C-alpha cells in the first residue's frame, strides 16, 4: 500500500509522490485507489536517489490527471 504524500500538476498529467515499498512500481503498472479507480503509471522517478535511506521507500510517478488527494491510499492491481 502507498500513501500519497505530494501532488504536482504537470500539463495534462500529475506527478504524485508515494510513500511505501516501491519495488513493484514500474512504468505501465496499475494502481488502485480506495474507490476502485485504476490509475496507470506512465513513468517512474526516484527523486531522492542521492539519499540511500529513501531509495525504495519514496517514489514519484507520473499519471493522467484524476481525482486524487494527498493522504489517499493506493495499492497495486
Please report, for the chain, the start and end positions of each structural domain, with discontinuous segments joined by +: 2-68
How many angstroms separate the CA atoms of 43 and 6, rounded?
16
pLDDT on residue 17: 92
Per DSSP bridges, beta strands 43-45 and 2-10 are unpaired
pLDDT on residue 50: 64
The model's pLDDT over 9-58, given as tens digits with 9 standing for 90+, comes to 999 999 999 998 887 889 999 999 999 999 999 999 866 556 666 665 67
**pLDDT of 77 strictly over 90:** no
How many angstroms separate the CA atoms of 40 and 27, rounded?
8
pTM of the model: 0.84
The residues with which 39 forms a beta bridge, in sequence order, are: 31
Amino acid at each position: 500500500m502507498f500513501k500519497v504524500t505530494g501532488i504536482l500538476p504537470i500539463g495534462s498529467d500529475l506527478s504524485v509522490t508515494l510513500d511505501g515499498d516501491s519495488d513493484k512500481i514500474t512504468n505501465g503498472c496499475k494502481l488502485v485507489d480506495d474507490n476502485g479507480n485504476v490509475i496507470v503509471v506512465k513513468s517512474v522517478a526516484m527523486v531522492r536517489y542521492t539519499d540511500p535511506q529513501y531509495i525504495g521507500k519514496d517514489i514519484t510517478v507520473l499519471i493522467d490527471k484524476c481525482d486524487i488527494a494527498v493522504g489517499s491510499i493506493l495499492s497495486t492491481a
